[in-house]
Structures are given as C-alpha cells and as structure tokens.
Amino acid sequence: MAQNELSTLKRGLLVLELVKKKEGITLAGVMKELHLSKSTAFRFLTTLEEMKYIYKIQTQYFFNRKMFSEETGERSNKDRASLHSIYQVAQSLQMSTYLGKVDGTDLVMTQVIHSPFLNSADEEIGNRSKLHQSALGKVILAHLDERSLASILSKMSLERATKNTFQDSQLFRYHLKSIQEDSYAFDDEERIVGIRCVAVPVFRNKKVVAALAVAAPAEQINRSNIKQIATKLKWGSKAVTKEIETIESIH
C-alpha cells in the first residue's frame, strides 16, 4: 500500500475515532479538532456515512455502534433506547427532559436527562406512573385513535397523585380533546407538587408511539412561556422521529 494511502487511512480512522468519542459532532467540529480543510473533512465524513460507520442527524454526526458486532451483543436495552436528539432538546431548554411510552394504563420512562444534560439518568429508566397523572401520559392518550383510547380508558382508575390530578372521567375526556387541538399537554403540578411539565406527542408512521416532555419547578414553566416551550418540543419530537427512522434505515 502506497504511503499516501496509509496516510489517508490513518486520517479516516482518526475521524471515526473522533466521532465515536464526541457522541455528536459537526463538520466544523471535525475540521477544528483534526485541523482538516472543509473539503477533506466532508469527504471523510461522507465516506464513513456511506459505509454506515457513522450516521448524521441534522448537522451532527454520530458513531454507529451497531456496525460492530462485539459491541452490539453487549449493549443493554437502555443503551439501545438512547436517542441523541433528546440531548439537544434538553440543552436547548435547559430543563429535565423525558421520553415515555404507554404500557397498559401506565406511562413508562424510556429516557431521562437532567442537568448538566450530558448523561442519561439510567436509574430512572423504567419508572412508572399512571397515564392521567402527567403531561406525557395525557398527550399520548389525546392522540390515540378512538378505539385504542376507549380501550385504555375503560381500564383506568383516575387515582389521585396530588390535589390537582384529574378525577372526573367526563372532564378528563374534554381535557384530552383540548390537548389534541393544541398538540401539546400541560401538567400543572398534577403528579408532583411544585413541578410543572409540558409534553408533545412523538409520531411514527402517523401514529403516536411516545411522548417527549420537559419538567421544571413551577416558577420556570408558566402560562406566558408554555407555547414557546411546546414549539421547541415539537421540533424535538420531529428530530426524535427522524433519528428513529435513520437508525432503522441503516440496519
């Protein structure tokens, strides 16, 4: 192998190692870290992406761990559930960020991120609560088809978590319709006193599959900033869907 080919291979491996280390890096970041020109960095990243060693979400590149069989077998369900786009939401809003899904009449946490928004709070993954007690659960219920919603509601008992939790089934139905119209849900200390939450649905193939939310002390989330928070969460929801589709498409 010619010397220039060895040099190219070495630089390509350095780019791959950098993407793996950073867990999300832009073209500009690669240029700066490895002192590469824009065209050279772009060529390496594009080649690695085409070979499925890395994948791109918006402007950031991520290491595709599933390409390496020795790592694939060892990865836990928690790792496989980890989505990079959720970190971007958390860092943008500077609030604890959650991803949850339905299991029976419960909401189950699948990803949780707290300040400084760099690592997943794995000890909270798998935590359960009743669907009607939080914005996450309510926004999923509000976007289910009528048959699925009726089936779940028939099995639910509206247990109170705080004095603000919904207990009137008829009023709760009207509340869900309002959430569907707004495309976001607001939890006004309904599960934990002193904590408010805003959530939006996450769709896959036009069906709601999860919910994305942020939570913070009541004074940080109020009527004046809810819509702004919901707008950023909706962007995040689309990014989550795109990331799921991207990951599925390369395997």
Mean of the pLDDT values across residues 93-106?
A: 93
For the segment 120-171, what is each residue's pLDDT rounded down to a tens digit?
A: 888 788 888 899 999 999 999 999 999 999 999 999 888 888 899 988 888 9
Query: Model-level pTM?
Result: 0.70
Confidence of residue 66 (pLDDT cuts 50, 70, 90): low
pLDDT above 60 for 1:
no
pLDDT above 50 for 79:
no
Mean of the pLDDT values across residues 180-203?
A: 93
Q: What are phi and psi of 74, to 5 degrees?
A: -90, -15
Task: Show the tokens assigned to 142.
Answer: 């509000």
pLDDT at 251: 54
Ordered structural domains, the chain, with CATH: 3-72 (1.10.10.10), 77-249 (3.30.450.40)
Please report, rounded to a whole number, the percentage of residues in the chain having pLDDT higher than 90.
53
Average model confidence (pLDDT) for the chain? 86
117 sits in which H/E element:
none
- What stretches of the chain show up as alpha helix (H) in DSSP? 3-22, 27-34, 38-50, 69-72, 77-80, 84-93, 135-142, 146-155, 169-182, 226-249
